[in-house]
Amino acid sequence: MEQVEKWAEFVRNNPREKWKKSVNLLMEATYQKADEFYERLKKTEKGREILGRLRGERIGGRDLEK
């Protein structure tokens, strides 16, 4: 929790340009890992079943079929 508080303080006390690149890199890496995970799931019957349920729930509105 301490790290979250430090980051929040950094964001509050610095201009967006100073921290935006770090956040963008983190988000892109997160999406990349999620996409890789979905691709691995597609390779198995159980994985395809899970993806079908996720698609039905529309988690986060993100397109899992990409």
pLDDT of 19-54, one tens digit each? 999 999 999 999 999 999 999 999 999 999 998 888
Is 2 or 55 the better-scoring residue by pLDDT? 2
Task: With respect to residue 8, please indicate whether it lies within any of the assigned structural domains.
Answer: no
Domain assignment of residue 10, yes or no: no
Tell me: pLDDT of 57 over 90: no
Q: Which domain holds residue 59?
A: 19-66
pTM over 0.85: no
Report the number of secondary-structure helices (H) and strands (E) in the chain: 3, 0
Query: What domain count does the chain have?
Result: 1
Question: Residue 27's pLDDT is what?
Answer: 95
Q: Tell me, yes or no, whether 26 lies in a domain.
A: yes
* Residue 51 included in any domain: yes
**What confidence score (pLDDT) does residue 55 get?**
82
66 and 35 Cβ atoms separated by less than 8 Å = yes
